[in-house]
Structure 1
Amino acid sequence: MSSWPVQDAKARFSELLETCLKEGPQIVTKRGAETAVLAPIGEWRRLQQAARPSLKELLLAPAPRGELLIPKRGARRRRSPVEID
């Protein structure tokens, strides 16, 4: 992956885009720090699909993906019934 300062990326965007399509993702830096990545759309979609589990994978997973907090029974006070005249 090549690195492009933001000033160069803005000034030579067409070249940045062509390099991205030919060589793969390109990193854009701002003040020397990596800030963004320009990636081909096919690779972006592949990464999005890989990061999101399917419904089948969720149902067949050995462990739950989250905590289900169930309150203890009788832990809350009950309201007294309202008498109707």
Structure 2
Amino acid sequence: MQPSVRDEKSWTVAGAKAKLSEVIERAQSEPQTITRNGKPSVVVVSAEEWHKKTVRKGSLAAFLMESPLRRADLDLGRQNDEPRDLPL
């Protein structure tokens, strides 16, 4: 059975509800898009794919230490200007 929209990876909300098991089965091999009012609304992916996309890759400290700007001669000093008067 074909999905209820344009291609084999896209479903309407009604089609996805009616064929949820098939949506889940197909999502194991490739992402499935569910549309609402003709526009992409959500994407269903396998748990394995979701884990790959959301696992943390290193720490912020490691990222900053590896930055090409680490040894750049940047002027990071603060300005000593007087504060502005803001309207109340």
Distance in 1 between residues matched to 2:57 and 2:82, nearest whole Å:
37
Q: Which has the larger radius of gyration?
A: 1
**Which structure's relative contact order is higher, taking Cα pairs within 8 Å and 6+ residues apart?**
1
Which residues in structure 2 correspond to 1:1-80 (within 5 Å)? 2-21=9-28, 23-49=29-55, 52-55=56-59, 56-63=62-69, 71-73=78-80, 75-76=81-82
Over the aligned positions, Cα root-mean-square deviation in angstroms equals 2.4
Q: Which residues of structure 2 form unaligned runs of 5+?
A: 1-7, 71-75, 84-88
When residues 48 and 58 of structure 1 are mapped into structure 2, their CA distance, relative to the original with a 3 A threshold, is: farther
Higher helix fraction (1 or 2): 1
Q: Which string of whole-angstrom CA distances, capped at 9 and with x for unpartnered residues, describes residues 8-42 of structure 1?
A: 11121111111212x32111011111111000111
State the identity %: 29
Q: How far is 1:57 from its partner?
A: 2.6
- How does the TM-score come out when normalised to structure 1? 0.64
Cα distance between partner residues in 2 of 1:57 and 1:72: 27
SS of the counterpart of 2:54? Answer: helix
Off by >4 Å, runs of 4+ in structure 1: none
